[in-house]
Amino acid sequence: MKTIFLLSVTFLLTQSLFAQEFDFFEPKTTIGGYGELHYNNEKIGDAPSKAIWDFHRFVLFFGYSWSEKWSFKSEVELEHNFVKNGQGELELEQAYVNYHHSDLFGFNVGIILPSIGLINEFHEPPLFFGTERPVYHNLIIPTTWFGSGASIYGNYNGFDYKLTLFETLNSDKFSLSQGIRPGRMKGFKPDASRFLYSVRLDYLNFPGLKIGGSFSFNNAKGDSTSIDITITEFHAKYDANNLTAVFEFGNINYNSGELRASRGYYFDLGYNIASIPDWNSKIIPFVRYSDINTAAETLSGGNSEKLYHFTEWMIGLSIKPIEQIVFKLDYSERTRKSDDRKSKFLNLGVGYMF
Is 68 a binder of another protein (CB under 8 A)?
A: yes
Q: Report the DSSP beta bridge partners of residue 41.
A: 51, 346
Binding residue for another protein (CB under 8 A) from 90, 240, 276, 315? 240
| 201, 204, 269, 273: residue in contact with another protein (rule CB under 8 A) | 204
54 part of the interface to another protein, by CB under 8 A: no
CA atoms of 217 and 196, how far apart (whole Å) = 6
**Choice from 106, 110, 182, 222 touching another protein (CB under 8 A):** 106
By CB under 8 A, tell whether 108 contacts another protein.
Answer: yes
Q: Taking a C-beta distance cutoff of 8 angstroms, is the pair 125, 36 a contact? A: yes
Rule CB under 8 A: is residue 158 a binding residue for another protein?
yes
- The yes or no reply on residue 83 touching another protein (CB under 8 A) is no
CB of 118: closest distance to another protein in angstroms?
7
Least distance CB 286 / another protein (angstroms):
14
Residue 10 corresponds to which amino acid? T
Residue 225 makes contact with another protein by CB under 8 A: no
Long-range residue pairs from 217-223, CB within 8 A, at least 24 positions apart, any chain: 218/168, 218/169, 218/194, 219/168, 219/194, 220/168, 220/169, 220/170, 220/171, 220/174, 220/183, 220/194, 220/196, 221/168, 221/170, 221/171, 221/191, 221/194, 222/170, 222/171, 222/172, 222/173, 222/183, 223/172
118 binds another protein (CB under 8 A): yes
For the bound state, the minimum distance from the C-beta of residue 204 to another protein, rounded and expressed in Å, comes to 4
**DSSP structure class, residue 17:** H
Give the nearer residue to another protein in terms of CB position, either 25 or 82: 25
Q: Residue from 38, 56, 65, 264 that binds another protein (CB under 8 A)?
A: 65
Supply the DSSP symbol for 303: G
Q: Give the residue with the Cβ less far from another protein, 170 or 214.
A: 214
336, β-bridge pairs? 310
User: For strand 159-167 and strand 195-203, is the pairing parallel, antiparallel, or unpaired?
Assistant: antiparallel
Report the distance separating Cα 350 and Cα 348, nearest Å: 7
Q: Does 165 bind another protein (CB under 8 A)?
A: no
The DSSP secondary-structure symbol of 49 reads P
Single out the segment in contact with another protein by CB under 8 A; choices: 14-22, 52-60, 82-90, 291-299. 14-22
Which residues are near another protein by CB under 8 A?
Answer: 3, 7, 10-11, 14-15, 18-19, 21-22, 24-25, 28, 30, 32, 63, 65, 68, 71, 73, 98, 100, 103, 106, 108, 118, 121-122, 127, 153, 155, 158, 160, 204-210, 237, 239-242, 272, 275, 280, 282, 323
